[in-house]
Structure 1
Amino acid sequence: MITIIGLYGLLPIVICILFEMLGSNKVKPIVALIPIFIFISVIVYFFLPSRNVLSLIGGNWVYGALYLGLYWIISVGDLDNDKTDSALTILGIAVIILLALVGLGGALHSHMSVKPTWESISKNYSKSTEAPTFKRGETPIALAPKTVLNRVRKAASDIPNSQYYSISDNVQAQYYKRKPVYVIPIEYNGFFQMKNAEEIPGYFIIDATSQSASPKFVKKPYIYATSAYFGKDASRQLYKNLPDWLSLGKPQLEIDDKGTPYWVQTIYKSEFLSHRVNYQKLHVAVMNAQTGAVRTYSISDMPSFIDEGITSATASKINSDFGRYKYGFWNSILGKSGVIKPTGNGVEDGVTSIFNRDGSISYFTDFTTDKTGSDSAMGYSMINARTGKLTFYKASNLMDSDGAIHNADQDYKAQQWKAKMPVLYNVNGQPTWVMTIVDSTHAIRGYYYLNASDQSIYASGSTPTSALDAYRQALVNNGGYNGNTEKAKMKDISGTVDRVAIVSDKNKVMFTLKDSNTIYTVNTNDFDVANLLRQGDQVSFKASVVNGKAVGNVSSFKNKSLN
């Protein structure tokens, strides 16, 4: 950190030396340098400014100007009485102006030359039909982070000497021993509490997908925390150990399979005289929260226990750059062709962590048009939290998350409950907003499914599964997804299978029964045993039938011929 202070104060040092060696003023130049360096030290130590070359140039011309002005003031105009001192003053001003012009030029270039940044994003464009499919009993719906915080705060008495600590607002999603969990750090209540406590006693962990989960306090003391001061500040420790790197957002707490806590931060090296980020060259800094040891990894080589090497703040910036700069800077300001913007309805830095069935985590964000007042979704992205790869799903004629939340909130206006964590899924080929309903205390009250293309189709339930079943029935009742409003009737049906057709690319099995012309459809996302259906099998099920034809999915299914 001393090196950084010296680099930010390089110009004042040079000016001071020149005045000391060549000047004739009675006032020692170092008299003005001391307060300037005290000021620089305070700024660097407490605010951890960027170590980018462009930032250093900007700092030098500012501090150089402050030094020259201060030296002129304490010299009471004596600098004007000597030709050498006057020449040195003019030289100093010239250097300051030159550095200011270089800094301004670099800043403008960084801000306007954005196409290389967009091109460095690892991205893939996918069809909306390939979007994540909601599977009954398989797709986990995570607890809303505010619900998690509410439960954790009620368990704060489990913390030893709890008067010294508070619960962090940072709810970290990750897999722990292959199970989706949230890790919630503990913070110091203040400076004097930190002096009395000396260390953080541990953290909380909670099952992320169990609706009745209770938080568990894990006694794993650690020294470095984002709420600590001076040498125990996690951000300062990372800053001190990474002199050549720049950070993207604050560090996040993750734990390994032994429960050891680590602070994880996405870092990068900017180009020369530029603030631009090259997303192809992102790295990850991993700091042991107990020892302070810091190691740096490339994205492809980081430890396996890290699920979000791309932090939520980094993912938010990737989304923003992806949506704005496809056709460059001027287009993002004037023409705005192809410009889309994230809605910002995520739970952490405008993104929502999604637990995938393959044991990975993705950040979900939906995009809307740049026009004011629009609630039309232009698509949404899923960013892999380990690799940073962005997959964009294009959408048309779909409601965005702002509209989805507004629609859900209207149904709970009397109770004053609110919809949280909107995530877009495909349910039987239909784009559907899945939301969690919480009350004023952030306790879960239910789940809400809303068709993204037809807001008249919706359903709710006390559990994700019951809400899903009700929503699928709502789809059936609205004519099997094709706009037919004729009502369907549920019937208990059994018989012998006559003909079978497996439509694997649509996850469906179609079949008929002997002595019946009705074609029934069963969704294999719900009943994977239907993939084994064969002619002659004895089956029983419930189905919605309109005018003698099968519509929608079979709502329950059993193959009696299979043991």
Structure 2
Amino acid sequence: MIIKDVTPNDTINKKRTKRSFNPNYLYFLLAIGIFIYYYLTLPPLHYASYQTWFFLLLIYAGIFAIELIKDSNQWLKKIKNNSNQATEIKFGKLPKKYRYFYWPVIAILLIGLVGKFIFSPFFMAKDYGQMINPVSKDFKTTFPEVNIDNVPLVDRDTAVRLGNRHLGALTELVSQFEVSDEYTQINIKAEPYRVTPLKYAGLFKWLNNFSQGIPHYLQVDNVTGKVEVKTPEKPIRYSYSDHFGRNISRHLRFNYPFSIFESPDFEVDDEGNPYYIATSYGRNFFLNEPEPNGLIVVNAMTGEHQKYAMDEIPSWVDRVYSADLIMHQLDQNGKFKNGFWNSVFAKEGVTETSDGYNYLPMNDDIYLYTGITSVVSDESNIGFVLVNLRTKETTMYTLSAAEEFSAMASAEGSVQEKGYKATFPLLINLQGNPMYILTLKDSSGLIKNYSLVDVQDYQKVYIASNMKQLIQKYGEDNPVVLEAINEETLEKVSGQVEKIQAVIKEGETYYYFMLDGKVYQVPARLNEYLPFVEEGQTISLKIDELSNIHSVDLTEIFGDKANQETVIESSEEADPLLDNIE
């Protein structure tokens, strides 16, 4: 039998050996951290993406830190083993491998900085100015006359309120789902809508419902404000409120890891099928100025996806170019179209966009509208642009006009006692006359009035509680041809007057009649005999589908002399601008 002596120092050394940590395990932790970061932030793997370079920098820093920890362990051991000798460690004496860390970083930074400078507006100003090329046209002859009944005056804020209120009334849905705040403006069969999917009302509601998917989306009519709950053929299984691989951003990134794209938008085709669309981007000048180079379309029900070239995009897609990109390129065009030095010193012809924009639906496309003003004066616009958000076709209409916020202030001033706030206006061609059209909302965000403001003389303001009355008021000062009323579409209501009350609203007298328990608001201008009607007498009203009263028949009270069937003059030559105005 051999007995080996074990000293206390040997025991301590063995314990230290067992407890020592292998720094190579840090690479395993780094790999996990890299995966988690990529899974959560989803950076594209593309040389022109700053997210990519930041992602690589984090990996680089992690490797550098691990190598430094490994070497520092060895340095500490040397210090302990040579406790009686001075040990000096200098940065310049670091192992040669560290050169492979800092020299590539320096080289990449130099290439990036030099590249951004060479491809900057200082050398390429006119190229920056030509990223978008507005074509000048005459307003009166070429600006499209928009159907006044098709102007989308229900803005995003109002659409959100209407959508949330509508879902709140559906108890079977509100317990499990909420309304997503996407509300994308699109055209469906040439009609303007905002659409948004429902979303799971929290993690536990997702756990309860993710196997069935999201059953509905909301569709808000941008003209009437009518909200509909739409049910597609199959439930929506890919959305922002889904998790893991069914999250729409993650689904796109894992299928297109090398593409640069922004947050996808919810859209609906003409058959009501829900999709998410994401525009992919390249760069115009090395690392500068993103430019769309394709479109990725994802079926929100099945997850099927396809990437289209710019000349192959489906016709139902309305939004390829983002509003922010268009506004930026318009500013670049106005700033650099006459060269870099002109933009700094003389500033001759230098322009910029207004501080706001709006959307105008025309010909089954969505157009971005904004004003153009000179940088030396922002009190008025020198023109307007319309940009097709699917094709980037851009038209400039040179027209001296009031700046949009001046028109908004003028409209608010007309009802200042009520404290209404104006929405950003739209420019319309009202039978050859350029007019701003906007809504006035109360403190709760509800539309209370509609307003027309003369573009060239913003002190001329017309305000009414509905669109028909607004056009009638405008017609009092301007020749407006209205189409004759289709009498067959009007409903006739007759009855004895139970109660009658006169009220003055915005300088106009209205009579409130109660017939069979229902209240009807009748403008005094419809019939000059209205002030003489008494309770118990019989009257007849003609009402359209929107409950607007078109005529008052008082012949049973005052005879034929009081019969006034309609107050809107007919014309054999109806203007398509005002089709269906009644």
TM-score by length of structure 1 reads: 0.70
The answer for the alignment partner of 1:87 in structure 2 is: 96
Which 10-residue stretch deviates more, 249-258 or 325-334?
Answer: 325-334
Distance 2:359 2:376 in 1: 27
Contact 1:118–1:322 under 8 Å retained in 2: yes
1:467 counterpart (461, 466, 470): 470
Superposed CA deviations along residues 121-148 of structure 1, whole A, max 9, x for unmatched, are: 2532223334635466565344222222
Structure 1 position 232, deviation (Å): 2.0
| Residue aligning to 1:406 | 409
Specify whether residues 451 and 34 from structure 1 end up closer, same or farther in structure 2 by C-alpha distance, changes over 3 A only.
same
**Residues 426/177 of structure 1: CA separation in 2 closer, same or farther (3 Å cut):** closer
1:59-78 to structure 2, matched below 5 A, reads 59-61=55-57, 63-73=59-69, 75-76=71-72, 78=74
Give yes or no for the alignment of 1:197 onto 2:203.
no
Matched residue, 1:287: 298
Tell me the distance in 2 between the aligned counterparts of 1:323 and 1:227.
40
8 Å CA contact 1:457–1:474 kept in 2: the answer is no
Of 423, 448, 456, 1:453 maps to 456
Q: Secondary structure, in 3 states, of the residue corresponding to 1:76?
A: helix
By how many angstroms is 1:97 displaced?
A: 1.3
Q: Which of residues 171, 190, 200 is equivalent to 1:188?
A: 200
Q: Partner of 2:545 in structure 1?
A: none
Which of 170, 178, 196 aligns to 1:166? It is 178
> Mapping of 1:214-363 within 5 angstroms?
214-218=227-231, 220-247=234-261, 249-270=262-283, 273-278=286-291, 282-327=293-338, 332=343, 336-346=347-357, 352-356=358-362, 358-363=363-368
> Contact 2:439–2:450 (CA<8 Å) still a contact in 1?
yes
Amino acid at match of 2:218: F
Q: Distance in 2 between matches of 1:160 and 1:324?
A: 54
Residue type of the alignment partner of 1:392: M
Provide the rounded CA distance (Å) in 1 between the counterparts of 2:204 and 2:340: 48
What is the SS of the residue equivalent to 1:263?
Answer: strand
Kindly tell me: are residues 474 and 271 of structure 1, through their superposed partners in 2, closer, same or farther at Cα, counting changes over 3 Å?
closer
User: C-alpha distance in 2, partners of 1:195/1:467?
Assistant: 51
Q: Secondary structure at the match of 1:51?
A: coil
What is the root-mean-square deviation in Å for CA atoms of aligned residues? 3.3
**Could you say if the C-alpha distance between residues 51 and 36 of structure 1 is closer, same or farther in structure 2, counting changes exceeding 3 Å?**
same
Q: How many residues align?
A: 446
Q: Distance in 1 between matches of 2:455 and 2:180?
A: 34
Q: Equivalent residue for 1:506?
A: none
Match of 1:548 in 2: none
- The answer for the alignment partner of 2:37 in structure 1 is 43
Match of 2:47 in 1: 53
Instruction: Letter of the 2:242 partner, please give it.
Output: A
Aligned partners of 2:340, 2:242: CA distance in 1, in Å? 40
Report if the CA contact (8 A) 1:364-1:423 is conserved.
Answer: yes
Deviations 1:481-519 (A, max 9, x none): xxxxxxxxxxxxxxxxxxxxxxxxxxxxxxxxxxxxxxx
Task: Determine if contact 2:187/2:193 at 8 Å carries over to the other structure.
Answer: yes
Distance 1:62 1:355, change over 3 A: same
Instruction: Say which SS state the counterpart of residue 441 (structure 1) adopts.
Output: coil
Please tell me whether residue 387 in structure 1 is matched to residue 391 in structure 2.
yes
Deviations 1:526-561 (A, max 9, x none): xxxxxxxxxxxxxxxxxxxxxxxxxxxxx945459x
Q: Does the CA-based 8 Å contact 1:52-1:275 persist in structure 2?
A: no
Per the alignment, do residues 114 and 48 of structure 1 end up closer, same or farther by CA in structure 2, a change over 3 Å counting? farther
The answer for the alignment partner of 1:150 in structure 2 is 161
Q: Rate the CA distance shift 1:218–1:315 in 2: closer, same or farther, 3 A.
A: farther
Letter aligned with residue 187 of structure 2? Y
CA apart distance, 1:295:
0.6
Deviation at 1:466, TM superposition (A): 2.3
Q: Closer, same or farther in 2 for the Cα pair 1:455/1:256, shift >3 Å?
A: closer
Deviates more, 1:101-110 or 1:402-411: 101-110
Instruction: Letter of the 2:34 partner, please give it.
Output: I
Which residue number in structure 1 is paired with residue 563 of structure 2?
none
Contact 1:123–1:392, Cα closer than 8 Å, also in 2: yes
Question: Is 2:414–2:461's contact at 8 Å kept on the other side of the alignment?
Answer: no
Structure 2 Cα separation of the partners of residues 333 and 59 of structure 1: 36
Query: What is the rounded CA distance, in whole Å, between the counterparts of 2:367 and 2:414 in structure 1?
Result: 30
On the 8 A contact 2:283/2:291 being kept in 1, the answer is yes
Aligned partner of 2:110 in structure 1 is 101
* 5+ residue gaps, structure 2: 1-19, 76-88, 481-567, 574-582
Structure 2: how far apart are the matches of 1:108 and 1:335? 23
Q: Does 1:444 align with 2:473?
A: no
Say yes or no: does 1:129 pair with 2:140. yes
Identity, in percent, stands at: 22
Q: Would the alpha carbon gap of residues 242 and 125 (structure 1) be closer, same or farther in structure 2, given more than 3 Å must change?
A: farther
1:83 and 1:342 map into 2 onto residues whose CA distance is 54
Distance across 2 between alignment mates of 1:306 and 1:227: 23
Q: Secondary structure, in 3 states, of the residue corresponding to 2:383?
A: strand
C-alpha distance in structure 2 between counterparts of 1:335 and 1:240, whole Å: 50
* Superposed displacement of residue 450, structure 1: 0.8
Shift of 1:215: 3.0
Shift in Å at residue 333 of structure 1?
Answer: 5.6
3-state SS of 2:199 partner:
strand
CA distance in 2, matches of 1:426, 1:161: 42
Deviations 1:29-74 (A, max 9, x none): 7445444444433332222224331434554345424532453245
Maintained 8 Å contact 1:380/1:393: yes
**Residue equivalent to 1:519:** none
CA distance in 2, matches of 1:403, 1:209: 25
Give the 3-state SS of the residue equivalent to 2:317 in structure 1.
Answer: coil
2:491 counterpart residue number? none
Between the aligned partners of 1:287 and 1:453, the Cα distance in structure 2 is 45
Deviation at 1:422, TM superposition (A): 0.4
Cα drift, residue 287 of structure 1:
0.5
**C-alpha deviation, 1:475, in angstroms:** 4.8
Using the alignment, how far apart are the partners of 1:102 and 1:190 within structure 2?
Answer: 46
Partner of 2:206, secondary structure, is helix
TM-aligned CA distance change 1:233 to 1:322, over 3 Å: farther
Quote the Cα distance in structure 1 between the aligned partners of 2:30 and 2:376: 47
Structure index of larger Rg: 2
Structure 1 position 418, deviation (Å): 1.4
TM-score, scaled relative to structure 2: 0.68
2:138–2:397 Cα contact (<8 Å) kept: yes
Residue identity opposite 1:90 in structure 2: R
**Residue 251 of structure 1: CA displacement?**
1.5
2-structure distance, mates of 1:203, 1:174: 14
Which amino acid in 2 is paired with 1:215?
A: E
> Which whole-Å CA distance do the structure 2 matches of 1:474 and 1:125 have between them?
30
1:179 is aligned to 2:191:
yes
Q: Specify the code of the residue in structure 2 equivalent to 1:408.
A: A
Shift of the alpha carbon at 1:442? 2.4
Q: Find the aligned partners of 1:58 and 1:108 in 2 and give their Cα distance.
A: 20
**Structure 2 counterpart of 1:447, which letter?**
Y
Q: Check whether the contact 1:53–1:272 (CA below 8 A) recurs between aligned residues.
A: no
